[in-house]
Each structure stands twice: as structure tokens, then as C-alpha cells.
Amino acid sequence: MKSLALWPVVGGLLITPYAIAEERGQTIAEEADRRANAQVETLAAETTMTLQQKGGRSSVREMTMRVLAGEQGDRTRIDLTEPADLAGTVLITHSHTDRVEDQWLYLPAVRRVRRLSGGGRAGSFLGSEFAYEDFAPQEVTRFEHQYVRDDQIDGQAVFVVERRPLDKQSGYSRQILWVDQAEYRLLRVDYHDRRDKHFKTLLNSEFELIDERYWRPKLSTMRHLANERTTHLAWRNFQFNQGLDSDLFEAGELR
């Protein structure tokens, strides 16, 4: 065991290795968020979602995503445009820096807006390997972070950081983030369920530098380790700071 005499003391308080790791993890998370979102007022993008079954069968969905940034939390809207039986489905999320996000799902078949609350946000987003809470802005203040170690992915130096959601009704006990040390891009996330079992992994790849400033992945792949199902998100047509009507993000406007 390391001698306490070798641990730093600041202001008369003992700074333990855990506290040092926590501070470093928080610093890495904040820098990654700053690089990805600094001066982003609005964002729009299109994505093709492909649900891949273990046996090879697949289904495809087309979606648009829009984001409106705010000081107290961002707002997002996801619209399904294809296939025909899901077209018009909308997921709206209001994130908050100091509390759990609010989410609403509009189902055009029944013309009904359903508010997602509690454990409902941990459910599968329309049969995919993504949960509803995965599509919420991941506000840094809504997690506890701890630096784990330096590592590599395909020869690329990364920081490995653990984050634990402050939301006790989250579907995750913790997530392990792999952040590249050069540009602070999120390359991988290992998700642990409420029993702390690693059950799915997200891989972001084919990064594109947009407007000479913002790195975004062209492909996000979520793989469930037990059932071997995979959901791919192929992103395209990113547009930053083009302006969006705030009414788009109001659940009451869906009816």
C-alpha cells in the first residue's frame, strides 16, 4: 500500500489517488465536451439506422436529428421518415444540467404523445440496441467521472474514463469511455447494466472534420454482446449553426 505521506495535501485536506483520478476524469470529460460542442447553437444531421440480427436478417430506418443548444441543457428531436409504418414517429428530449432529462415519444399511428419517465428511458428505442436515454445529450454534469488508465485502440493513444450516471433510474450502473488523446473524440463506450455486467459496446468510426472544427463519426455501431444483435447509425449531412425554430422541440406541438 502506498504511504499516506506520499499523497498530496492541499489546504490541509488529504488528496487520495481516487480524488486525483476523479479530478482527471472530470477534466478529460469536460475537454471532450468543449471540443465537440463549443459554440454549437444548432445541429442537424441525417442518419440511416440498420438493425442487424444474428442470422444476418436486417431492417433499415431513415431518421433526421436536430439539436438546439441551451445554457441549462440541450434539446434534441429525432424524426423517423422511413419505413412508411414508422414515418412520423418523433422523439423529443430536453436535457438539464441539474436533473434528469425529459423525453416524449410521439406515435402517429395512435396520434398520441407518451412521456417517458423513470426506467422507461432505459428501454429499447423502437427495437434497436440503442436505449432512449442513449439519444439524450450526455450532459457532463449528470455523471461522475474517474480516470482509469491510458491505453490504445488500433495503435491510437486513448484515455480510459469511467462515468457513472447520477440518475438512479438509468439503465446503466457505469460506462467506460475510450477517448482519443489527440482530438478527444469518443471512440468507444462499454455499457454496464444495473448488475454491473458489460452487456453492449458502442464504436464510433470514420470521423469527419466538419467546418474545420467539429469531429463527428460517420458510423456509430452498437453491439449487444449476449444476443449478438447490432445496430448501425450511418451519419451524413451534418449542418452546424443554421438556425432552428424552438417550437420544433416542444412536445405540445406534436399533437
Give 88-105 pLDDT, tens digit per residue.
Answer: 999 999 999 888 899 999
35 CB-side CA count, 13 A = 17
Rg (CA), the chain: 19
pTM: 0.90
Number of H-type helices and E-type strands within the chain: 1, 15
pLDDT of residue 20: 85
- Other CB atoms closer than 10 Å to residue 133's CB: what's the count? 24
Longest dimension (CA), the chain: 67
C-alpha cell at 38: 463549443
- Please count the other Cβ atoms lying within 10 Å of the Cβ belonging to residue 162: 19
pLDDT in tens, 100-152: 899 999 999 888 899 998 778 999 999 999 999 999 989 999 999 999 999 99
pLDDT digits (tens, 9 = 90+) for 54-86: 888 999 999 999 999 998 889 999 999 999 999
- Where along the chain do its domains lie? 20-242
Question: Looking at residue 17, what is its pLDDT?
Answer: 67
Query: Which CATH number, 2.50.20.10, 2.160.20.10, 3.50.50.60, 1.10.357.10, labels domain 20-242?
Result: 2.50.20.10
Identify the band that residue 7 occupies on the pLDDT scale cut at 50, 70 and 90: low
